[in-house]
Amino acid sequence: MQNFAIAIHGGAGTIVKEDMTPALEKAYLKGLEDALNAGYAVLDQGGTAVNAVKAAIVVLEDNLLFNAGRGSVFTKKGVQEMDAAIMDGKTTAAGAVAGVRNVRNPIELAEEVMINSNHVFLSGKGANDFAIKQGVKLEPDEFFFSQFRYDQWKQLRDSDNYSLDHTHQGLEELMQDKKFGTVGAVACDINGNIAAATSTGGMTNKKYGRIGDSPIIGAGTFANNATCAISCTGHGEPFIRAVAAHRVSSLMEFKNLSLEEAMHETVHKKLMEMEGEGGMIGIDANANVSMQFNSAGMYRGMRNSKGEISMNIYKESE
């Protein structure tokens, strides 16, 4: 029987044990576990990799702890603008949205774009109009409000700074209740098809309609059965310039590197040279999983049909 597996991330950045309370750590691990189980259940019932990554992402988008969907960070203007992408490695069909508002689960809208739009990438008001036309679930602004995100944004709103939602050195009071994390999932199903999905609120205090790597096919999200499915998290600009997710695929295709080697080269060499803090999760069509990051931590987890399951936050040595 073909092995199947799913891996997820909930963001990477300056995530260290000293800043975490036991209760918060437990809540993150539970959030990861719930999402892993939702995605795994789809695979276990013979469902597709696309449906598995979507199921996992919906759970993470609905969890206020993570910077996606409901828990999205505030922009410079004090609103949430969300980005998401999904890609099917079997067909290389892809769908993505950027700068959408009030969409409860942006990953569902990305999938609608993939299946029903004849396009790959929709943005802003047009993407919201498409959401209404397709009957994708919308929620009022209050649904996306959380005091923590608001306080986090207040620290930055009078400046030109923007930040990775995970990086708050010096903001002591926020450390106690630190919530962050773009979310992503990759999966390999029982038929050896793979898929990737990523969803995010982007970076706190972003402006001018800034879009990161997450919804950009090839940068933050990519899937091709012939090589790998990848979902990235971190400082989006260097990930875009490195075309990070597609780079892993290219290293496998043209240099015959394994998934592990290709991700290592990209995360620990290429992105480091470009000061690209963050990480990525990847899977191949044999259900091999790799999760790598060059930051202090990355919320992550995996589960496979061999019975392996793990959820982690910090570097292995911590």
Give the residues lining the site for ligand ASP (CB under 6 A): 11, 67, 164-165, 182, 200, 202-203, 212-214, 220, 233-234, 236
C-beta closer to ligand ASP: residue 43 or 223? 223
**Minimum distance between the CB of residue 116 and ligand ASP, rounded to whole angstroms?**
25
C-beta closer to ligand ASP: residue 47 or 212? 212
Bridge partner list, 187: 6, 195
Helix (H, G, I), strand (E, B) or coil at 127: helix
Which secondary structure element, helix H or strand E, spans residue 9, and what is its range?
strand 5-13
**Minimum distance between the CB of residue 305 and ligand ASP, rounded to whole angstroms?**
28
Q: Identify whether 182 is a catalytic site residue.
A: yes
Bridge partner list, 292: 280
Among 61, 101, 60, residue whose Cα is nearest residue 81: 101
C-beta closer to ligand ASP: residue 200 or 205? 200
**Minimum distance between the CB of residue 214 and ligand ASP, rounded to whole angstroms?**
5
**Minimum distance between the CB of residue 41 and ligand ASP, rounded to whole angstroms?**
26
Bridge partner list, 302: 7, 310
C-beta closer to ligand ASP: residue 182 or 224? 182
Amino acid letter, residue 245: A
CB-side neighbour CA atoms (13 Å) of 300: 28
| The dihedral sign for the CA sequence 163, 167, 171, 174 | positive
C-beta closer to ligand ASP: residue 4 or 293? 293
Q: Which residues contact 275 (CB under 8 A, 6 or more apart)?
A: 235, 238
C-alpha distances in Å from residue 245, one per residue of 89, 200, 216, 248: 13, 16, 10, 6
**Minimum distance between the CB of residue 271 and ligand ASP, rounded to whole angstroms?**
12
- How far apart are alpha carbons 106 and 59 in whole angstroms? 12
Of the candidates 48, 75, 167, 182, the residue annotated as catalytic is: 182
C-beta closer to ligand ASP: residue 11 or 89? 11
Are 129 and 135 in contact, with CB atoms under 8 Å apart? no
**Ranges of H-type helices in the chain:** 22-44, 49-61, 106-116, 124-134, 147-154, 172-175, 236-241, 244-255, 259-264, 271-273
**Minimum distance between the CB of residue 47 and ligand ASP, rounded to whole angstroms?**
27
Through-space distance between the first and last CA atoms of the chain, rounded to whole angstroms = 36
By annotation, the residues acting in catalysis are 182
